[in-house]
Amino acid sequence: MTLDPAYLDYPRRRHGYDHDLYAWSNIHERQPVRWPDDRSLAVFVCVSLEWFPIVPGGAFVAPGHMQTAYPDYRHYTARDYGNRVGAFRLLEAFEKVGVTASFATNAAVAERYPALVAAVQAGGHEIIAHSTDMNGTIDSSLEEAGEQALIAQALTRLESATGTKPRGWLSIARSQSFRTLDLLEQHGLSYCCDWVNDELPYRFSNGLTNLPLNHELSDRQIVTVQQKSADSWAESIRDAFDWLAREAAEQGSGRILPIHLTPYIMGLPYRIAAVEQLLMDLTRRSETWFASGSAIVDAWEAQQ
Amino acid sequence: MREGSPDPGLYDYHPYTSRPKIVWPGGKTVAVWVAPNLEYYEIDPPPHPLRRAWSRPAPDVVGFSHRDHSNRVSHWRMAEVMSKHGFPGSVSLSVALCQHHPEVVADAAARGWEFFSHGIYNTRYAYDMSEQQERAIIEDSIRTVREATGQTIRGWLAPALTHTPRTLDLIAEYGLDYTCDLYHDDQVQEVRVAKGRLASIPYSLEVNDHYGFFVYNMSGREYAAALVRQFERLASEGERSGTVMCIPLHAYLIGQPHRIGPFEQALRHIAADGRAWIARAGEIVDAWREQTGAGR
């Protein structure tokens, strides 16, 4: 067995990336960014509102999807718990301390649960698009027409259910195809949150903005994948806050702390107190600017 | 190695408690080296018959962009913390990073870090390479690092830890002094090679940040505590004969904002202890050779 000689060809070995999706830059050498009211740390709370059809499908099976043979009542209902109970716990926690968040919302959630949408809107939060439902996964195995239709449907259904055109997009599992960025841009979106390579917004080559939503700090990664406690999650977020606040002060440039929450994960009775206490503590820090995705992107764009 | 044999014949057996006494410079008991992996992962590499580069069809957005975080954000964060506490890096380098992001390589070189090869890309695997192909990646590594930094590489960590039965013989033939691919010991050891000689320097999978966070699911603080415990034990046992502690890192993991603070505390602890010889990989191998009667 020997390898194909072409395995040692490197046609894209060149300065910059081996793709043209965006350009390289070093965050520590960019023009400083300033957030409103001299706050140095934008805290971007993003909540995923997910509806999992009891029949899994899509380009790939989304994290959190059904696991047993049909009908998987266990996972269908445990996920839907987030939409009935957990999300409202989070909304109350936000209201208590004045957090403005972005809710990445499956179109199906907006259509099925108008009371939840109304509560999100009444809280002054932003709604961003999060595909159609949890079968609306995207990767390169999708045909172009299928991906185009999926994104169009997610946006029109979300808009008609909420009355607002979303400016932001979060893909399920942050998964895209090579076409997704162009499709999102062509559908009039301003930003997506899928690429985790940075800690400030940046522009893709096609003009769309990336607002990084650190998956390593998400409740899914820390609590569900790494199986840490809610207190361990909160400790990690606090450590991140302290580091970023210090780095912002030293470099004279704003930073972003992304907190990605899932109602069926952090909205449980035994975990919610850790969220509430954390948000309370962050509210007391003079560096904190709780902001929606759009507010952060707008503040950043105004300085470019 | 003895290809096809149940015992690959990589080294001789030496029980830990009856070895010549190694004393590190300044009478230190443990040589501590930090090995940042400076890597480039291709977004859509050619397929290898034995291993998939990404778990998702290209582009694997999270897989690719997570690693890209190193080259935009976290390399400098990690490097600053290391420099501040006096830890030089011995870099496991995807040598194509010299082309893609020479800015990162230049930063590491300016800090006085040593470079060894980690293959061309961390998405090109050595399994099933012919001898000629493997020579090509070794020669490419030597040439690329020399052109980019002026350094001649002295060590090898196989790309994505992928080997052939002849890798160790070949790198010794090309004059490399150490391999980081063998995990059988806490001291520098001799490797059996066809021609010349080769040392194995303890790298570490067990306290590699990747294992800490993705195999053992540690929090940043738990990982920092594991490093301190690893250090304390090796520093103490090193009184009998000098040990080696390696801290293998990936900026996109250790340089995340929730992990870098606790990591800095661990480095501060090790630097302040007084028993650590904080060194680069090549210096450690040289000091060991001098004391084992086979100096360069």
B206-245 pLDDT, tens digit each: 999 999 999 999 999 999 999 999 999 999 999 999 999 9
A222, A232 in Cβ contact below 8 A? yes
Q: Which residues in chain B have their CB less than 8 angstroms from residue A222's CB?
A: 219
Q: With cut-offs at 50, 70 and 90, classify the pLDDT of residue A1.
A: low
**Which tokens sit at B226?**
């594991």
- What percentage of chain A carries pLDDT values higher than 70? 100
pLDDT at B293: 74
A89-130 pLDDT, tens digit each: 999 999 999 999 999 999 999 999 999 999 999 999 999 999
Average pLDDT across chain B, whole number:
97
- Indicate the SS3 state at residue B135: helix
Q: Where are the alpha helices (DSSP H) in B7-161?
A: 61-69, 75-84, 97-100, 102-110, 131-149
A73 min Cα distance to partner chain B (Å): 28
Q: Does ipTM surpass 0.95 in this model? A: yes
Element (DSSP H or E) covering residue A198: none
- Is B68's Cβ below 8 Å from some Cβ in A? yes
Q: Taking residues A121-145, what's their average pLDDT? A: 98
CB contact under 8 A, A28 and B76: yes
Spatial separation of the C-alpha atoms in residues B293 and B296, rounded to whole Å: 10
Domain range list for chain B:
25-291
B17-34 pLDDT, tens digit each: 999 999 999 999 999 999
Looking only at the bridges linking them, the beta strands covering A191-192 and B243-250 are unpaired
Spatial separation of the C-alpha atoms in residues B83 and B65, rounded to whole Å: 26
B38-81 pLDDT, tens digit each: 999 999 999 999 999 999 999 999 999 999 999 999 999 999 99
Q: Which residues in chain B have their CB less than 8 angstroms from residue A228's CB?
A: 217, 219
- Is B217's Cβ below 8 Å from some Cβ in A? yes
B223, B212 in Cβ contact below 8 A? yes
Say which range, A286-295, B155-164, B232-241, B285-294, has the weakest mean pLDDT: B285-294
Q: Crossing angle for the helix pair A144-162 and A114-122, nearest 10 degrees? A: 70
Element (DSSP H or E) covering residue B211: none
Q: Which residues of A95-128 are buried (b: 16+ CB within 10 A; e: fewer)?
A: eeeebbbbbbbbbbbbbebeebbebbeebebbbb
Q: Assess whether pLDDT exceeds 90 at residue B294.
A: no
**Which tokens sit at A251?**
């470099």
Rounded to the nearest 10°, the torsion over CA A35, A37, A40, A42 is -60
In this structure, how many other beta carbons lie within 10 angstroms of the beta carbon of residue A174?
22
Q: Where are the alpha helices (DSSP H) in B111-219?
A: 131-149, 167-173, 209-210
User: Distance of CA A149 to CAs A114, A154, A191, B61, Å?
Assistant: 24, 8, 19, 21
pLDDT at B157: 98
CB contact under 8 A, A7 and B48: yes
Q: Taking residues A55-82, what's their average pLDDT? A: 97
Q: What residues pair up with B2 in beta bridges, in sequence order?
A: none
**Which tokens sit at A180?**
């997704």
B182 min Cα distance to partner chain A (Å): 24
- Is B77's Cβ below 8 Å from some Cβ in A? yes
B184-212 pLDDT, tens digit each: 999 999 999 999 999 999 998 999 999 99
A78 min Cα distance to partner chain B (Å): 24
In this structure, how many other beta carbons lie within 10 angstroms of the beta carbon of residue B173?
16
- Indicate the SS3 state at residue B59: coil
Q: Assess whether pLDDT exceeds 90 at residue B111.
A: yes
Residues in chain B: 296
What pTM, to 2 d.p., does this model score?
Answer: 0.97
pLDDT at B296: 45
Amino acid letter at A52? F
Q: Assess whether pLDDT exceeds 80 at residue A266.
A: yes
- Is B250's Cβ below 8 Å from some Cβ in A? no
Q: Residue A285 phi/psi, 5° resolution? A: -85, 135
Average pLDDT across chain A, whole number:
98
Q: Taking residues A122-143, what's their average pLDDT? A: 98
Element (DSSP H or E) covering residue B243: strand B243-250
CATH number for region A33-301? 3.20.20.370
Residue of A nearest to B131 (CA): A2
A205, B86 in Cβ contact below 8 A? no
Spatial separation of the C-alpha atoms in residues A183 and A149, rounded to whole Å: 10
- Is B215's Cβ below 8 Å from some Cβ in A? no
Residues 122-161 of B with CB under 8 A from A: 124, 128-130, 133, 136-137
Looking only at the bridges linking them, the beta strands covering B189-191 and B198-200 are antiparallel
Number of alpha helices (DSSP H) and beta strands (DSSP E) in chain A: 11, 9
Q: Taking residues A214-233, what's their average pLDDT? A: 98
The DSSP symbol for B47 reads P
Q: With cut-offs at 50, 70 and 90, classify the pLDDT of residue A179.
A: very high
Q: Assess whether pLDDT exceeds 90 at residue A272.
A: yes
Residue of A nearest to B123 (CA): A7
A145 min Cα distance to partner chain B (Å): 18
Q: Which residues contact B238 (CB under 8 A, 6 or more apart)?
A: B24, B28, B29, B30, B275
Q: Taking residues A118-146, what's their average pLDDT? A: 98
**Which tokens sit at A122?**
């009444």
Spatial separation of the C-alpha atoms in residues A287 and A256, rounded to whole Å: 11
Q: Assess whether pLDDT exceeds 50 at residue A243.
A: yes
Spatial separation of the C-alpha atoms in residues B273 and B261, rounded to whole Å: 19
pLDDT at A153: 98
Q: Assess whether pLDDT exceeds 80 at residue B161.
A: yes
What is the architecture of the domain spanning B25-291?
A: Alpha-Beta Barrel (3.20)
Q: Taking residues A74-98, what's their average pLDDT? A: 98
Spatial separation of the C-alpha atoms in residues A72 and A65, rounded to whole Å: 10
Residues in chain A: 304
Residue of A nearest to B72 (CA): A26
B291 min Cα distance to partner chain A (Å): 40
CB contact under 8 A, B124 and A3: no
User: Distance of CA A162 to CAs A94, A108, A114, Å?
Assistant: 20, 11, 8
pLDDT at A2: 79
Q: Which residues in chain A have their CB less than 8 angstroms from residue B108's CB?
A: none
Q: Assess whether pLDDT exceeds 60 at residue A204.
A: yes
